[in-house]
A and B are shown apart, each in its own frame.
Chain A
Amino acid sequence: MKKEKKPKLAVWKFSSCDGCQLSLLDCEDELLTIADRIEIANFREASRQVLRGPYDISLVEGSITTPHDAERIHQVRRASKFLVTIGACATAGGIQALRNFKDVKEFVSLVYATPSYIETLNKSTPIADHVFVDFELRGCPISKTQLIDVLGALLVGRKPTTPTYSVCVECKQRGIVCGLVAFGPPCMGPVTQAGCNALCPSYHRGCYGCFGPKETPNTSALASYWRGLGMKNDELLRLHRSYNAYAEPFRKESEAHEK
């Protein structure tokens, strides 16, 4: 019988916390099964072994923040058939995109005694700003369920089932009392994409936007509702300017509250 060739997987890291690629190692029940079906060909956090490309699937974590990485992402794209970005850093620039609103030189001198040793770009940008991306998985961190769904979908050649509706839909599905109505702001659920299974509301906390803006979010309507409840500009600004600060709808909304 002819032995079928397993598809090759590569995992790439750019500026990030490693949490999203760790999600793959956190699939304790599925990891060995995944390794049976997919050849883990290039995954430095897990293995010394590096097989040559091209790779059938590339998972890309992190944002582009250095001149070197802005070059390297093109090599990754050339070596990859299907490129999936994983997490808020790769899809929106991540928390480190807070620098995009400030002068990065000032940041460098705050953290490092000898700023001249540090090489960095002025902005932290998502992967799609540099190369064509086949699919994006949102989240800070990503959802393991969504990751396994995407890998499964690619293996059998179907479309991934990642929803683009809001966290509110997940709250309703789980029967969670609406915090925005019951105990006041702030909950980013109405403008944030689903994927966490309404995690924060289920812990009696407002959503803070880990999965980034949903499809067609009406951020200004939500902001004026909050303003009516007494929220100040600086609070509205911080709320939109966090883990997906550079995703366009959140960026524009935060800028609207800049003094």
Chain B
Amino acid sequence: MRNRTVKVDYLARVEGEGGILVKIKEKSITDVQFNIFEPPRFFEAFLRGRHYTEAPDITARICGICPIAYQMSAIHAMEHAFGVTVDGQLRALRRLVYCGEWIESHALHVSMLHAPDFLGYQDVIQMAKDHPETVKQALQLKKTGNELVALLGGREIHPINLRVGGFHRVPTHRELKLLADRLNRAREAALNMVRWTATFPFPDFERDYEFVGLRHEAEYPFNEGRLVSSKGLNIAVSEYENHFVEEHVEHSNALHCVLRERGPYFVGPLARYNLNFDRLTPTAQEVARAAGIAPPCNNPFKSIIVRSVEMVYACEEALRIINEYEPPARSMVELNPRSGVGCGCTEAPRGILYHRYRVNEKGIITDARIVAPTSQNQKTMELDLRHFVPDRLDIPHERLTWQCEQVIRNYDPCISCATHFLRLDFDGT
């Protein structure tokens, strides 16, 4: 037992291709790597020379699970460059489509990718044999999220209806109202998910994280706000690059992002929740407290409960927007494209997603920068492994390996954004 290695060649139940390596000598960890071997696709490079109107469609192709996030960050960055603000019902519709993406993405992760870990199943199909009603309810919840994205975006994956300035077509009152019934049922399903996930066995594991997320003056954040952290960061989105730096390391095709002053940080549902608990709806707050996760919650394993709480919020926010909806007279605001630089940061299901573009006077992109949530969490994920493993060296290999996978899945990593077969084996034992 002197030297051992926890190794997962290809991580399952995550999006994209990555692996884990933990080397242990005596009782201390000598190396930890979360490897991303997903082939690089060079989006920032081929965005150069494209027209600004193409950025939302092109960047959506970075990720099949959170295309809305890419479209929203790209669109807000372009509007920032052009000095345009979109408000009123068009702004509300953008929040609504984001609610759909959070529900769809969170339901996928909670029920299909993450819950099987806690209950000891290989996958959701196996889990469905013992928990048929719960799985069916989760699938319906996911479907409602997808329906919301499909109505406003045209389709669930790589939506076509969002554009710089607004939408190609806005929904009718009736189209939205038809979704209200389903959303009411989805809200019940989300509440049940919170109660169900709260009963899972959670490892006793907490760390002192720096949580980073958007904070808006009145709302739980989707598209707007200041970038704040649990350790005092409070900046405008346009100052992002002064405070965050990316590093390129050999074992990863993603770039590691750190805070210039303080190093690794944590983005995603748990960060948003800890920073914005007071902006949740009363029902979401109440069910979260009852689930035993009153903030601050510093156990990343419990992010599965937080995702469920965010689904409750997203259903209620969607219902509010639908109730107050009045179709806007025009589907988009007037744009006067001009040369300049614009940046946008929105809350993807997995955390803050930053885009910055430089556009010339013809509306052609001359420079692009994109920082995905998973590359921001990568260092924190590695540190979690480094702290998690030493106290658990007496656990049998297979089980420790599975738990190490879980440490990574806590973050719902999207490796296409920043992977997916996972072979964990132990050497040298």
Say which residue of A96, A112, A196, A203 sits within 8 Å of B169 (CB atoms). Answer: A203
CA distance A141 to B85 in the complex (A): 31
Partner of A46, one of B50, B112, B139, B161: B112
Whether B45 sits at the interface, judged by CB under 8 Å, is yes
Contact of A15 among B39, B63, B255 (CB under 8 A): B39
A161 within 8 Å of B (CB atoms): no
Q: Which of B1-45 contact A (CB under 8 A)?
A: 10-17, 38-45
Interface stretch of the complex, out of B54-62, B202-210, B215-223, B277-285:
B54-62
A44 partner, pick from B12, B116, B156, B160, beta carbons under 8 A: B12
Give A214 Cβ to nearest chain B Cβ, in Å: 19
Alpha-carbon gap, A50 to B10, bound state (A) = 11
Tally A-B pairs: CB < 8 A.
Answer: 185
Q: Which of A223-244 contact B (CB under 8 A)?
A: 235, 238, 242-243
Shortest B102–chain A CB gap in Å is 16
The answer, yes or no, to whether A48 is at the interface (CB within 8 Å) is: yes
Nearest CB on A from B356, distance (A): 14
Within the assembled complex, what's the spacing in Å between the Cα atoms of A141 and B146?
14
A104–B250 CA distance with the chains assembled, in angstroms:
19
Which bracket fits the contact residues of B?
A: 35 or more
**Contact flags A77-99 to B (C-beta < 8 A → 1, else 0):** 00000000000000000111011
A25 within 8 A of B: yes
Whether A32 pairs with B125 at a CB distance below 8 angstroms is yes
Contact across chains for B421 and A65 when beta carbons are under 8 A apart: no
Interface residues of A in 172-208 (CB under 8 A from B): 196, 199-200, 202-205, 208
Residue A76 CB within 8 A of the other chain? no
Q: Decide: A44 near B422, CB < 8 A? Known: A17-B416, A107-B45.
A: yes
A49 and B146 contact, CB distance less than 8 A: no
- A118 is an interface residue with CB less than 8 A from chain B: yes
B155 to chain A, nearest CB (A): 6
Task: Determine whether the beta carbon of A28 is less than 8 Å from that of B146.
Answer: yes
Nearest CB to that of A207 among chain B residues?
B160
Q: Is the pair B123, A31 in contact by a Cβ cutoff of 8 Å?
A: no
Q: How far is the CA of A157 from the CA of B17 in the complex (A)?
A: 33
The answer on a CB contact under 8 Å between B123 and A26 is no
B155–A199 CB distance below 8 A = yes
CA gap between A35 and B124 in the complex, in Å: 10
Task: Name the one of A31, A107, A114 contacting B46, with C-beta atoms under 8 angstroms.
Answer: A107
* In contact, B416 and A16 (Cβ under 8 angstroms): yes
* A117-B39 Cα distance, complex, nearest whole Å: 12
- The one of A50, A110, A120, A243 in contact with B61, judged by C-beta atoms closer than 8 angstroms, is A243
Residues of A within 8 A of B (CB): 13-23, 25-26, 28-29, 31-32, 35, 40, 44-50, 65-66, 69, 94-96, 98-99, 102, 104, 106-108, 110-114, 117-118, 120, 140-141, 196, 199-200, 202-205, 208, 210, 235, 238, 242-243
Task: Give chain B's interface residues, CB within 8 Å of chain A.
Answer: 10-17, 38-46, 48, 50-51, 54, 57-58, 61-65, 67, 108, 112-113, 116, 122-126, 128, 135-136, 139-140, 142-143, 146, 154-158, 160-161, 168-169, 246-250, 253, 255, 331, 402, 405, 416, 420-422
